[in-house]
């Protein structure tokens, strides 16, 4: 009983429900390990009693939690209304906050008797709402108690798309142009956005996370397991677009020409010789080119812009660049570095900053160059008329050996990994190998790491997609050495996580999209919708579960979502309609039942959807035409009230292969495939945009207009 009470005080759940009628207890060893990661000793009954007494005493004497949230125009939280009469509140505004001038002072007055007809809480008369921002709040009570905490004042909702719109979803690396260095880059992204906005009236392009990867040989190709979520990866740079590239002199120019020839060979191998995208090979070439370009002095104006970037990024960028420099010397696993270098604040690390100054500057410069090309991509999108522009993606966590875990060690729970509990779809649970943030450390810091992360991602974004958005509320922690079945849910302060998100999105004028597929805790979708966070709705999963599980009628879909036919983790629409995704899993030995059973069930499911499409008169071409069925699926999406409709770019050319096949590692080339046509032949960005098949599909998305004439030389499809 004591352990359960102690766990509850620290947000650790001692049971979970894999289904509505089942409750599973969390093993005591798991609870003890999770509490230890939170700095709470529960190793013995005596330690449990001591820790419980300390936690209860702290809770009883606490004036306010470390972070307090208020929503603009909404009643105050109980933490503030419960303060004793006569308490003096002083709000020191966030530097630079709009409307902030000098400290605000308020004195708590006795609460008046409630009116007989009062049905909702009211803001007390003594409260003066501070401007939006992250402020310092100090409270002093008449009995001489005091506390200084963080006060987050947030608007009630995030910005919304100005109108219903459609756009593309794409994994950037997979979209090679005729000038790419072996994988898609930020110039290709800008080009796609400019073309889609101007030619098709598209409102957005959503990409995979562009976070910095952990260097290595080979590098982990997954964009969802990065070294740092705070800074982008320079592998996405378009080298020739860097202004200094044009001013390289001999012999650097000859070396660059040689590198471009090698890059062309990489591109040719991927597009025409069946090679996989080789991120490491691409980076090896780009890094050599960047070393040469780095030797070109910046002009005065460019130098001033770079210095402004350094000042704006501050310590976070310096830490990231130092980690990159140290990884060049000692390898990417910082826990194996010489002991003094494992601490970013140690004297040894301070000396390394000086000794490796040139390399630190090099990596800072790469971050700046990547930032400028991210800005250029968003500018190209908005200049083309896109209502939203580039939609960036926030991964749920970072690699345990990466730059973020080194620079922010106090913020991460040691010896823990996040994942998912066992459920009806996966009896073994999941361990994603990503260390979680400590909720207590985030709260004590006023959510500084989270705020700075969001601010960096939103700087050049029209919208932000948050992978596994349920993690704002709770995450499944798996102690090191235990299977995923023996994890536990650890709760976040969802009110604070949401308030920071809404505030930063408001400041950036950006839409927020939450990936809320799968098992979702009751109340989560409602809480997100209240704050204007759009959900994610995928056609095949939208069913009327109150009836017989039939396809959900389009008018019954939620409005606050991005509606799509598929995602990067699911089969392409063509593969889904033809059953090829089942045969692929069979070839890889991933089916739990016989191929015949799986194919029969899949065919029945597809037939049900095709019948639904025909009944709604969305399939005028009749059955038996795969391309027509893909168009019908997208006509269905447009029948829903969804604010945004996303088209998976590989679907526009009939690609059969998923970009990622969950449950595989080396059995399938996850994250390494170029976009291909229906025959499996890789296609360039130029060929995609000229594809008659694409234009026939996008005519559906542009209100049924006739497709524009494809340019001369377009490849038939």
Strand pairing partners for 463?
391, 511
* pLDDT bucket at 6, cuts 50 / 70 / 90: very high
Give the span between the Cα atoms of 463 and 307, in whole angstroms. 27
**Burial level of 41, CB count in 10 A (0-12/13-18/19+)?**
middle
Backbone angles phi, psi at 163, to 5 degrees: -160, 165
Provide the pLDDT confidence category of residue 116 given band limits of 50, 70 and 90.
low
φ, ψ for residue 406, nearest 5 deg: -75, -45
Q: Where are the alpha helices (DSSP H) in 62-111?
A: 78-81
Q: How much is the pLDDT for 713?
A: 41
Phi and psi dihedrals of 389, rounded to 5? Answer: 100, -140
In three-state secondary structure terms, 147 is strand
Residue 47 phi/psi, 5-degree rounding, is: -65, -35
Tell me the average pLDDT across 89-115. 84
Statement: residue 706 has pLDDT above 60: no
Integer Cα distance of 210 and 212 in angstroms: 7
Q: Are the CB atoms for 94 and 135 separated by under 8 Å?
A: yes
Provide the pLDDT for residue 705: 40
State yes or no: pLDDT of 687 exceeds 70: yes
CA–CA gap between residue 547 and residue 354 (Å, rounded)? 67
Question: 491 pairs with which residues across the strands?
Answer: 474
Please state, rounded to an integer, the average pLDDT across all residues of the chain: 94
Give strand pairing partners of 169: 206, 648
Provide the β-strand partners of residue 489. Answer: 476
Place of tokens 């826990």: 335
Angle at 646 between CA 645 and CA 652, to 5 degrees: 125
Strand positions, DSSP E, 155-301? 165-170, 204-207, 211-212, 228-232
- Give the per-residue pLDDT at 469: 97
pLDDT of 547 above 80:
no
What mean pLDDT is predicted for residues 305-329? 98
Cβ(14)–Cβ(31) below 8 Å: yes
pLDDT at 62: 94
CB 435 within 8 A of CB 398: yes
State mean pLDDT over 423-427.
74
Q: What does the pLDDT read at residue 707? A: 38
Cα gap 89→140, rounded to integer Å: 7
Averaged pLDDT, 187-205: 98
For 585-603, what is each residue's pLDDT tens digit?
999 999 989 999 999 999 9
> In this predicted structure, what is the pLDDT of residue 117?
59
Q: Tell me: pLDDT of 708 over 80.
A: no
Confidence tier at 717 by pLDDT (50, 70, 90): very low
**Confidence band for 160, pLDDT divided at 50, 70 and 90:** very high
3-state DSSP: the chain helix, strand, coil percent, rounded to 5? 45, 15, 40
pLDDT digits (tens, 9 = 90+) for 66-90: 999 999 999 999 999 999 999 999 9
Contact present, 127 and 76 (Cβ < 8 Å): yes
- What pLDDT does 222 receive? 94
Transcribe 237-254 into DSSP letters. Answer: --GGGSGGGGGPPTTHHH
Whether pLDDT at 18 is above 90: no
Q: Is the pLDDT of residue 35 over 90?
A: yes
CA distance 538 to 529: 17
**At residue 711, does pLDDT exceed 50?**
no
What's the DSSP call for residue 646? E
């Amino acid at each position: 009983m004591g352990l359960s009470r102690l766990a509850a005080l620290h947000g650790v759940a001692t049971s979970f429900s894999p289904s509505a009628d089942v409750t599973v207890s969390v093993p005591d060893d798991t609870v003890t390990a999770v509490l230890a990661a939170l700095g709470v000793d529960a190793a013995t009954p005596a330690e449990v009693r001591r820790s419980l007494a300390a936690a209860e005493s702290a809770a009883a004497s606490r004036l306010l939690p470390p972070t307090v949230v208020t929503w603009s125009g909404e009643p105050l939280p109980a933490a503030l209304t419960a303060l004793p009469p006569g308490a003096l509140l002083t709000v020191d505004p966030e530097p630079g906050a709009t409307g902030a001038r000098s400290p605000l002072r308020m004195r708590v007055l006795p609460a008046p008797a409630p009116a007989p007809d009062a049905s909702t809480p009211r803001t007390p008369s003594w409260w003066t709402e501070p401007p939006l921002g992250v402020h310092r709040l100090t409270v002093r009570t008449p009995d001489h108690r005091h506390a200084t905490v963080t006060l987050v004042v947030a608007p009630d909702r995030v910005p919304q798309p100005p109108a219903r719109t459609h756009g593309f979803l794409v994994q950037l690396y997979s979209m090679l142009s005729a000038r790419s260095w072996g994988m898609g880059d930020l110039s290709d992204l800008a080009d796609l956005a400019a073309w889609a906005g101007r030619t098709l009236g598209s409102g957005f392009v959503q990409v995979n996370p562009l976070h910095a990867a952990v260097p290595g040989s080979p590098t982990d190709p997954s964009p969802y397991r990065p070294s740092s979520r705070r800074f982008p990866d320079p592998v996405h740079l378009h080298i020739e677009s860097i202004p200094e590239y044009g001013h390289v002199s001999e012999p650097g120019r000859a070396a660059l020409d040689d590198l471009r020839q090698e890059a062309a060979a990489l591109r040719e191998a991927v597009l025409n010789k069946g090679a996989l995208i080789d991120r490491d090979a691409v980076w090896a070439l780009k890094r050599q080119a960047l070393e040469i370009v780095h030797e070109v002095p910046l002009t005065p104006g460019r130098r001033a812009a770079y210095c402004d970037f350094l000042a704006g990024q501050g310590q976070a960028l310096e830490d990231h660049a130092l980690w990159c420099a140290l990884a060049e010397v000692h390898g990417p696993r910082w826990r194996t570095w010489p002991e003094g270098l494992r601490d970013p604040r140690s004297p040894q690390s301070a000396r390394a900053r000086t000794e490796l100054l040139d390399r630190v500057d090099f990596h800072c410069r790469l971050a700046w160059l990547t930032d400028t090309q991210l800005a250029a991509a968003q500018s190209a999108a908005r200049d083309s008329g896109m209502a939203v522009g580039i939609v960036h993606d926030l991964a749920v966590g970072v690699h345990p050996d990466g730059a973020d875990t080194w620079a922010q060690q106090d913020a991460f729970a040691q010896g823990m990994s996040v994942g998912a509990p066992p459920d009806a779809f996966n009896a073994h649970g999941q361990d994603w190998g990503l260390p979680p943030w400590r909720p207590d450390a985030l709260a004590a810091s006023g959510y500084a790491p989270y705020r700075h992360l969001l601010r960096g991602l939103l700087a050049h974004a029209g919208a932000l997609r948050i992978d596994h958005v349920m993690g704002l509320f709770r995450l499944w922690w798996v102690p090191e050495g235990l299977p995923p079945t023996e994890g536990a849910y650890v709760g976040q302060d969802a009110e604070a996580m949401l308030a920071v998100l809404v505030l930063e999105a408001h400041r950036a004028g950006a839409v927020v999209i939450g990936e809320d597929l799968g098992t979702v805790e009751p109340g989560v979708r409602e809480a997100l919708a209240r704050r204007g966070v759009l959900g994610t709705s995928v056609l095949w999963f939208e069913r009327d579960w109150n009836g017989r599980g039939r396809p959900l009628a389009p008018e019954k879909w939620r409005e606050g979502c991005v509606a799509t036919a598929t995602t990067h983790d699911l089969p392409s629409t063509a593969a889904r309609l033809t059953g090829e995704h089942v045969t692929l899993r069979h070839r890889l030995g991933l089916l739990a039942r016989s191929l015949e059973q799986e194919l029969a069930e899949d065919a029945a499911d597809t037939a049900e959807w095709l019948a639904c499409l025909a009944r709604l008169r969305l399939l005028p071409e009749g059955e038996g035409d795969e391309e027509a069925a893909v168009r019908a699926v997208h006509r269905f999406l447009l029948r829903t009230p969804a604010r945004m409709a996303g088209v998976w770019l590989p679907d526009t050319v009939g690609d059969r292969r998923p970009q990622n096949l969950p449950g595989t590692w080396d059995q399938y080339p996850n994250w390494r495939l170029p976009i291909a046509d229906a025959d499996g032949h890789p296609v360039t960005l130029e060929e995609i945009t000229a594809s008659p098949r694409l234009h026939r599909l996008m005519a559906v998305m542009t209100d049924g207009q006739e497709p524009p004439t494809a340019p001369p030389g377009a490849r038939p499809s």
